[in-house]
Structure 1
Amino acid sequence: MNGKNLFNFGPALGYFFRKNNPDRQSNFNLKTMHFINKLSLAMFLVCLVVMFFRYVL
């Protein structure tokens, strides 16, 4: 494993900006699950940034 792949956040950021698939059916449970996943990923990325700045400063 090299350092380039360690900080590859492309798939995580791509999850936020992908388009809806019209072929899949959607319901409240699925929308809620995706909202919670996006919220937890956002909180994780914000915490990584905060920890990085605390470490540097």
Structure 2
Amino acid sequence: MKGLFNFSEVATYFFRKKDPNRKANFNLRSMHFINKLSMLMFLVALFIIIFRHVF
């Protein structure tokens, strides 16, 4: 049950530093942007669902 609410990987995904050894192209940057956007939308929707359930 402890690992069920572990959002540390999601939080560190948003705030990690760029690797200087890895060459970034448009496809890689767009993929990471879409991943961040989808995770953010999921967390906002989860917050809204919990808020509506409580109130």
User: Residues 1-57 of structure 1 correspond to what in structure 2 (within 5 A)?
Assistant: 2=1, 4-57=2-55
What is the root-mean-square deviation in Å for CA atoms of aligned residues? 0.6
**Displaced runs of 4+ in structure 1, greater than 3 A?**
none
2:3, 2:46 → 1: CA distance?
16
TM-score by length of 2: 0.95
- Percent same amino acid among aligned pairs? 58
2:25, 2:42 → 1: CA distance?
26
TM-score by length of 1: 0.92
2:48 maps to amino acid: V
Q: 1:53 Cα shift?
A: 0.5
Structure 2 unaligned spans of 5+: none
1:6, 1:55 → 2: CA distance?
20
Structure 1 unaligned spans of 5+: none
